[in-house]
Amino acid sequence: MKKTLMDKPIGVMDSGVGGMTVVKEIVRQLPHEKILYFGDISRCPYGEKSQEEVRDYTVQIADYLVGKGIKMLVIACNTATAAALEILKERLDIPVLGVIQPGARSAIQNSRNKKVLVLATSGTVKSNAYSDAIIGINSGFSVSSLACPKFVPLVEQLRYKDDVVSGIIIHQSLKKHRHTDADTIILGCTHYPLLKADIRNYFNNEKKVIDSGYETARETSTILNYNNLLRTSGESIVHTILINGDSSRFEYVLRDWLPELEYKIQEIEL
């Protein structure tokens, strides 16, 4: 029975391709685990939608993945984490992990002056989720947030590799905060790590830039081990990627960013 549970996949969901930044780190840290990924391309981006819409989408996708037999759910989307994490923890009988708490803890560990700047979608900024998480752990921190609504389309439309376009959008989005005294920056959207090097360069490599993929993967490992669900060996892995919408752009990003990943991809309608 335990072996059967162990062999079930980890469910990972996001509004689009951004959650693959978390998958990349999970696969690196947990090479024997199977991933069942859900990319909600047809309804992306989530960041500009109402919290109620995002909550409903997230609950719908979670129920769908549970129906596919996952052993754990990772909400690899900051906006969805802010909107639905607590609801899903109560609703589901499997472990559920979001990306905000791991990112917040990492920022606290890395910051020396206790000043943090969060770059996120409008939905995540409005939720105050990062500020609440960081100050809830250490009230001595000062947290400021900046909505960067142009970043997700930049990634989803595959323009993130165009240095000119990326440079213009990053400058337009961050120019008012270029000289922030925050020594740590959280990339509060799983799409943003694809811009991590450019964002770090924009701040002259003087800031610690945090994305939550590493910490989320580490906590995934801890949770699975605690629940006796960790898969430590087995046959070679082929991951499954479900796309609600057109998968063509998604496949391009996968080939570019995760060329070593063995996967099968399927378009669905939800």
Are 207 and 105 members of one domain?
yes
238 and 160, same structural domain? no
Catalytic residue among 10, 20, 77, 147: 77
Do residue 85 and residue 110 come from a single domain? Answer: no
Contact (Cβ atoms closer than 8 angstroms) between residue 4 and residue 34: no
Q: Please check whether residues 164 and 236 belong to one and the same domain.
A: no
Percent share of the chain, pLDDT over 70:
99
pLDDT band per the 50, 70, 90 thresholds, residue 161: confident
Position 256 pLDDT exceeds 60: yes
C-alpha 30/C-alpha 231 separation (Å) is 8
**Which residue among 196, 212, 228 closes a domain?**
212
Establish whether 189 is a catalytic residue: yes
Q: Do both 41 and 104 map to the same domain?
A: no
Residue 171 among known ligand-binding residues: no
Q: What is the pLDDT of residue 48?
A: 82
Could you report the per-residue pLDDT of 163-205, keeping only the tens digit for each?
Answer: 999 999 999 999 999 999 999 999 998 889 889 999 999 999 9
Residue 1's pLDDT band, with cuts at 50, 70 and 90, is: very low
Determine whether the annotation assigns residue 47 to a binding site: yes
The boundaries of the domain holding residue 168 are 100-212
Q: Is 44 a residue of the active site? A: no
> In the predicted model, is pLDDT for residue 3 greater than 70?
no
* 16: helix, strand or coil: coil
Tell me if 236 is assigned to a ligand binding site: no
Number of structural domains found in the chain: 2
Residues 253, 239 share a domain: yes
pLDDT at position 253, please? 81
pLDDT value at position 245? Answer: 92
Q: Identify the active-site residue in 155, 189, 210, 229.
A: 189
Residue 14 among known ligand-binding residues? yes
Report the pLDDT value the prediction gives residue 83, as an integer from 0 to 100: 93
pLDDT in tens, 27-60: 999 999 999 999 999 998 888 899 999 999 999 9
Q: What is the reported pLDDT for 8?
A: 94
Lowest mean pLDDT among 75-84, 186-195, 224-233, 247-256: 247-256
Q: Reply yes or no: is the peptide bond before residue 45 cis, omega within 30 of 0.
A: yes
Kind and range of the H or E run holding 102: helix 100-110
**Residue where one domain finishes, among candidates 212, 227, 245:** 212
Please state the pTM of the whole predicted model. Answer: 0.88
Please state the rounded mean pLDDT for residues 256-260.
84
Tell me if 233 is assigned to a ligand binding site. Answer: no
Assess whether 108 and 208 both reside in one domain: yes
Give the CATH number, domain containing residue 52. 3.40.50.1860
Q: Tokens for 84?
A: 């639905």
> Quick one: pLDDT band at residue 212, thresholds 50, 70, 90?
confident
What is the spatial distance between Cα 74 and Cα 170, in angstroms, rounded to a whole number?
28
For the stretch 104-143, pLDDT in tens is 999 999 999 999 999 998 888 999 999 999 999 999 999 9
Pick from 128, 121, 106, 129: which is nearest to 47 by CA? 121
Is the distance from CB of 81 to CB of 46 less than 8 angstroms?
no
228 is in an annotated binding site: no
Give the 3-state secondary structure of residue 136.
Answer: helix
Residues 233 and 172 in one domain: no
Same domain as 37, residue 162: no
Per-residue model confidence (pLDDT) at position 186: 96
